[in-house]
């Protein structure tokens, strides 16, 4: 169901229910005489309590019911009904409901109108009285009324769940939480009721300041608890980051943990590269979005300003940042938190976080995020150092191909998979440059190195993703093909041989004083063996491919492909 359709339906229902219901409520339950000052005091207190909730575990708790209940006890159902409608409007304003959720205004108005009417009728039915009388016989109806108010509220939430897209259970945890809140609401309501009856509107001041003071102290305590919780999580995340050895693993884990810790919908890590920032990792609603943000210059947009000023910023609504934001921005972003990532007192990157909800971030989250970024920088540096060291240890520095050590481990692992049935066949192509010693003697070893480097690039481009190419030693190269039979391996080996033989190599004659460029023709001899038909283990496969190379190809005249024959 589209939002505009929801809005239309709720407006029609509101027109059919609320205005008519208010009219009949006024005539059936007319309010008792009340002065303008008392009405103003009720409205002011209700508005303040509704706009400033008590936050517990990052969840806003709106406790306006203690004021509206006091209104019921003092002046009757109609007064409570109007007061509740006013409270709902203030609550929705404080939540900064978006335009696409505008249906919540008429929807909540209808829901709380029903709650007021049903719980109020129940209160009268069980003998509840209104006006300034003794409460000796009224305590039980008040308690039943308060419990019924919560129960009816939960019932409405369950029934309306499919309409608003949020399924709820009747006796969920929030129902128990609401029941516990009654222990606060009922005494406060009775206290306000008595104070209003004894000293009038001045009594509101006597209860307002203690309540707001209690709320402020609770908010401070809750903030300290959340900070401690964030610090604990940051320490855990730091340990997890330092355990990752791959750069991509560090990036993925960092984005995941930051999104979970701060409730983030959009996460972008922008890496400083010279005089611009480029997107290192972009994630929207848990999905990676590569290349979604073009390069950003210094002072350009929010991220560019954070980079240039080296100071974090946070905004709680689109109105606060939309006038100076530029470049790519998520369409439905509201709250934004953007911080620089330092390394050795220099901005190396910028972390940009955004949420579709307004009022999502608070100032105390900035130092927490700074701690997380510090862990992230260390983890990224360690991962990059590890990857660089691993690459050096696994690759030939001249040809940039995998070296013998890596290939030997790879072949052993592939044989384990073959023996376990995860691989059907393994074909090994071993290649040797013909007359390479004569090339070195004629043009010099530096020219020979050029040929090895160009040969590696040529073989790699021919094989692509079909296999793994490695330098086996000297002028020998090997190609490992998984799940490839000998016939297919022989055809690929022949393609490699023909391509090399028919495409001359342009090299520099390092023995010539002028370092002239010369074009030479080079041929290769190739041997092919396939497991499990030709070998039962990795060493046998290498030995048999080598035998095919030297006996079947080299001794037969070179520049040819030979297969191993038992």
- Which amino acids are annotated catalytic? 475
- The string of DSSP codes covering 62-119 is --THHHHHHHHHHH-HHHHHHHHHHHHHHHHHHTT--GGGTTHHHHHHHHHHHHHHHH
E strand or H helix at 14: helix 3-28
Contact 214, 343 (CB under 8 A): no
Q: Which of 469, 326, 356 is nearest to 403 (CA)?
A: 469
Q: Centre a 10 Å sphere on the Cβ of residue 248 and count the other Cβ atoms it contains.
A: 11
How many whole angstroms from its chain centre is CA 315? 19
CA of 446: how far to CAs of 435, 436, 450, 512, in Å?
16, 13, 6, 12
- The string of DSSP codes covering 366-430 is HHHHHHHHHHHHHHHHHHHHHHHHHHHHHB-TTT-SB-HHHHHHHHHHHHHHHHTTS-S-EEEEE
Query: Residue 531 — φ and ψ, nearest 5°?
Result: -100, 145
- Among all chains, which residue has been given the structure tokens 């481009």? 461
Give the three-class secondary structure for 338: strand
Tokens of 264: 């983030």
Contact 365, 230 (CB under 8 A): yes
C-alpha torsion sign, points 65, 67, 71, 73: positive
Q: Which of 403, 470, 482 is nearest to 430 (CA)?
A: 470
Contact 477, 468 (CB under 8 A): no
- Do strands 561-563 and 524-531 pair parallel, antiparallel, or not at all (unpaired)? parallel
Q: Which residues of 489-518 are buried (b: 16+ CB within 10 A; e: fewer)?
A: bbebbeebbeebeeeebebbbeeeeeeeee
Query: Residue 509 — φ and ψ, nearest 5°?
Result: -75, 100
Tokens of 464: 């692509």
How many whole angstroms from its chain centre is CA 456? 41
DSSP 314: E
- Distance (Å, whole) CA 96 – CA 89: 11
Which residues are paired to 276 by β-bridges?
273, 297
Rg (Cα) of the chain, in Å, rounded?
38
Q: Which of 178, 163, 55, 52 is nearest to 115 (CA)?
A: 178
């Amino acid at each position: 169901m589209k939002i505009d359709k929801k809005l239309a339906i709720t407006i029609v229902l509101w027109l059919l229910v609320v205005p008519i219901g208010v009219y009949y409520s006024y005539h059936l339950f007319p309010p008792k005489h009340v002065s303008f000052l008392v009405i103003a005091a009720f409205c002011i207190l209700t508005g303040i309590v509704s706009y400033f909730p008590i936050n517990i575990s990052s969840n806003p708790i709106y406790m306006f019911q203690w004021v509206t209940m006091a209104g019921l006890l003092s002046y009757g159902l109609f007064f409570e009904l109007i007061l509740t409608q006013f409270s709902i409007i203030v609550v929705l304003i404080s939540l900064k409901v978006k335009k696409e959720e505008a249906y919540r205004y008429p929807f909540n108005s209808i829901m709380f109108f029903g709650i007021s009417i049903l719980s109020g009728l129940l209160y009268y039915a069980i003998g509840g009285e209104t006006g300034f009388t003794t409460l000796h016989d009224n305590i039980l109806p008040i308690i039943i009324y308060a419990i019924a108010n919560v129960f009816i509220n939960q019932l409405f939430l369950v029934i309306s769940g499919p309409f608003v897209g949020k399924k709820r259970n009747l006796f969920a945890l929030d129902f128990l939480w609401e029941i516990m809140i009654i222990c606060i609401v009922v005494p406060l309501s009775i206290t306000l009721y008595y104070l209003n009856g004894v000293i009038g509107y001045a009594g509101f001041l006597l209860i307002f300041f203690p309540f707001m003071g209690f709320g402020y102290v609770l908010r401070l305590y809750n903030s300290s608890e959340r900070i401690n919780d964030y610090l604990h999580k940051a320490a855990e995340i730091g340990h997890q980051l330092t355990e990752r050895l791959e750069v991509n693993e560090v990036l993925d884990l960092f984005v995941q943990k930051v999104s979970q810790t701060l409730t983030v919908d959009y996460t972008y890590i922008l890496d400083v590269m010279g005089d611009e920032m480029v997107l290192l990792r972009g994630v929207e609603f848990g999905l990676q979005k590569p290349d979604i943000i073009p390069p950003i210059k210094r002072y350009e947009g929010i991220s560019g300003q954070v980079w240039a000023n080296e100071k974090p910023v946070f905004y709680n609504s689109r109105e606060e940042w939309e006038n100076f934001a530029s470049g790519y921005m998520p369409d439905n972003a509201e709250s934004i938190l953007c911080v620089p990532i330092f390394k050795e007192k220099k901005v190396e990157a910028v972390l940009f976080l955004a949420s579709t909800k307004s009022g999502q971030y608070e100032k105390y989250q900035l130092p927490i995020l700074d701690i997380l970024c510090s862990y992230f920088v260390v983890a990224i540096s360690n991962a990059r150092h590890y990857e660089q060291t691993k690459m050096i240890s696994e690759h030939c520095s001249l040809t940039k191909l995998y070296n013998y050590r890596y290939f030997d481990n790879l072949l052993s692992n592939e044989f384990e998979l073959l023996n376990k049935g995860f691989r059907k066949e393994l074909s090994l192509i071993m290649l040797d440059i013909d007359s390479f010693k004569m090339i070195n003697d004629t043009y010099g070893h530096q020219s020979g190195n050029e040929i090895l480097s160009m040969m590696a690039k040529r073989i790699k481009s021919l094989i692509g993703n079909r296999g793994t190419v490695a330098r086996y030693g000297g002028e020998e190269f090997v190609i490992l093909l998984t799940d490839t039979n000998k016939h297919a391996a022989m055809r690929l080996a022949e393609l490699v041989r023909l391509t090399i033989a028919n495409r001359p190599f342009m090299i520099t004659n390092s023995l010539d004083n002028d370092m002239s460029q010369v074009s030479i023709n080079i041929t290769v001899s190739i041997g092919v063996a396939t497991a499990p038909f030709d070998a039962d283990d990795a060493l046998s496969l290498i030995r048999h491919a080598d035998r095919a190379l030297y006996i079947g190809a080299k001794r037969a005249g070179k520049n040819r492909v030979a297969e191993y024959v038992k």
